[in-house]
Amino acid sequence: MAVLRDEVVPIRAAADVVLVRQVVREWAIKQGFGLVDQTKIVTAASELARNTLDYGGGGSLRLEALDEGVRRGLRLTFEDHGPGIPDLDLALKDGYTTGGGMGLGLSGSRRLMNEFEIDSRVGEGTRVTVTRWK
Amino acid sequence: MERIPILRMGRYLLVTIQVDMHDRLAMTLQDDLTNRIVETGATGVLIDISSLEIVDSFIGRILGNVAAMSRVLDAETVVVGMQPAVAITLVELGLSLTGVRTALSVERGMELLRASQEAHLEESADGRTAG
Amino acid sequence: MQGNGNQMLIQVLSERQSELLAEWMAALTTGSIRRDDLMKEAELRGQCGDFLRMLRDAVQSGNVTNVMAPEWADVRELLSSISRSRTLQGFSPREVATFVFSLKKPLFNQLHHALENDTRQLFDELATASDLLDNLGLWTTEAYQKVREEVIRRQQEELLELSTPVVKLWDGVLALPIIGTLDSSRTQTVMEALLQKIVDTGSEVAIIDITGVPTVDTLTAQHLLKTVTAARLMGADCIISGIRPQIAQTIVHLGVELGDVVTKATLADAFVLALRRTGASVVRTAGRPGSEK
């Protein structure tokens, strides 16, 4: 599998969440995704970017355009060095909120993308990797 | 600071969201709307999202909040013009937007508001005569 | 065998470009391979020249065996685009691959010329050259197949659109009669089209008729339900009609929850309901036209 391009976008302020949406949209269009798929990818990115900012204390997004010969994809990796998630199972449950809400962020993004991976350690940080294939 | 303009149309308020809002802008809108409803005594709020290409859970929550708050203030909220791609994504996301009424366009939204207000008036009238 | 069976090959490709081009063109423009109807000689010469130049650049990297490596990216791209344009122009797969294979003879001739007195070396170099061109020829064939698949897929999409039209039954009432089995991707495409039509026509009621659908699986049922939910989010309502007894059984069997989705046995019933929803009504006037008097 080849990574055609990759880029890192810092997520440090609310305006960055808007920027993430724009950049992800551009990359999705470039990889050839249709409108509905674009919307799903950008929405998932918006959720995860917000989590990174609000719960992770800020972090970054790495975009990777993938090419596996038969199919193309877009992989997004959100990383922060925040408090981490103590109970992953609970956080992945629909509608779970820690008073103000991670809510649908994680479980929703998982549904919107084809692949979903999460690695979180308390006191160290969280990394969420999602991929959508064309 | 930028704000999303709120237009007044008779007893209704109309908001057209055309920019990709960052969180603070959305929350400011929520506050502004609540204030305006009280100021004007509006009985209906129309939120036009036909230009919104992305509605995530945060925006969804804002819409839900506006609907709930306006109801407390005796006004009805209708969200209009949702794009198909957005609707499909919201369903997948699992966001139900319960308590938020929707319509295909501003015109339809206003019809909906008028119809529900008439029904509302009838109810009050009956209530009184039943005495 | 690295560095042994390719020195002369690299040299020949670097120094004998014009000879190779001449011989190759000669081979391509004679007899059975000639396709004047599809390509002019000037264009062909351009393609051959480009390929030879890129071939020279690629082998100079030292790697003459692995054509999938980065050094060969430019060559691969050129072959892909040549293959693509020829496919679209109407060349057969054999003709497209022959573009590369017909370079073998000229290349072998040049190698023989250079290594007349060293049969051992000549043999190694010929083997390397042959393998190289075989790999590149196969690459062009694969590229050809990809283009064909794209064409077929596009045709399928068009067929899909034609076979599931969204029709306007009345002001504000749309109908989507689905015929045939619904697979996952077809359902998605159809549903997106329906939602878009709802917006375009401003219709508040959409009747999805599945009389013509023999079977429904869980995934399809879920897609149908998702569509209804999405339409509702937009401000429209869906009625599902034409549910056959078998499908009704499957739905119950699969445990699919229809919730508050309205279903009607026939399209006609659904239409009456739709009219009522949009505030219209049908009135039969007294006295049929043409009867009595």
pLDDT tens-place string over residues C235-258: 999 999 998 888 888 888 888 777
Closest partner residue to B91 (CB to CB) among C192, C203, C230 is: C230
Dist CA C57 CA C96 (whole Å): 23
Residue from B92, B93, B104 to probe the interface with C (highest C Cβ count within 10 Å)? B104
- Reported confidence tier of residue A81, pLDDT bands at 50, 70, 90: very high
Q: Where are chain B's structural domains?
A: 6-126
Which other chains touch chain B, taking contact as 3+ CB pairs less than 8 Å apart? A, C
- Residue in C202, C204, C230 nearest the CB of B87: C230
* pLDDT on residue C65: 87
Question: Among A109-113, B75-79, C202-206, C224-228, which stretch is predicted with the lowest mean pLDDT?
Answer: C224-228
Q: List subunits contacting chain C, requiring 3 or more Cβ pairs under 8 Å.
A: B
What ipTM was reported for this prediction? 0.89
pTM above 0.90, yes or no: no
Residues A90 and A79: their CA atoms lie apart, in Å, by 20
Q: Chain B closest CA to C35's CA: distance in Å?
A: 47
- ∠ CA A93-A98-A99, nearest 5°, is 130
What's the CATH number of domain B6-126, 3.20.20.70, 3.30.70.380, 3.30.1360.10, 3.30.750.24?
3.30.750.24
Chain A residue at shortest CA distance from B23? A14
**Region A102-123: what's the mean pLDDT?**
88
* pLDDT tops 70 at residue B126: no
Residues of chain C with pLDDT under 50: 1-3, 293
Residue-wise pLDDT for C175-202, tens only, equals 999 887 777 777 888 889 999 999 999 9
Contact of B66 with B77, CB cutoff 8 Å: yes
Compute CA distances B111 → B30, B90, B118, C29, C281, whole Å.
24, 25, 11, 74, 19
C-alpha distance from B23 to closest chain C C-alpha (Å): 22
Q: At what angle do helices C218-234 and B84-93 cross, to 10 degrees?
A: 120
Contact between B92 and A40 using a beta-carbon 8 Å cutoff: yes
Residue A98's pLDDT band, with cuts at 50, 70 and 90, is very low
**Cβ-nearest to B103 among C226, C231, C235:** C235
Touching check for B53 and chain A: CB below 8 Å? yes
| Cα–Cα dist C103/C22, whole Å | 11
Domains of chain C, CATH where assigned: 7-157 (1.10.490.10), 167-277 (3.30.750.24)
Domain spans of chain A? 2-133
The answer as to CATH 3.40.50.300 being correct for domain A2-133 is no
> How crowded is the C-beta side of C234, counted as CA atoms within 13 Å?
33
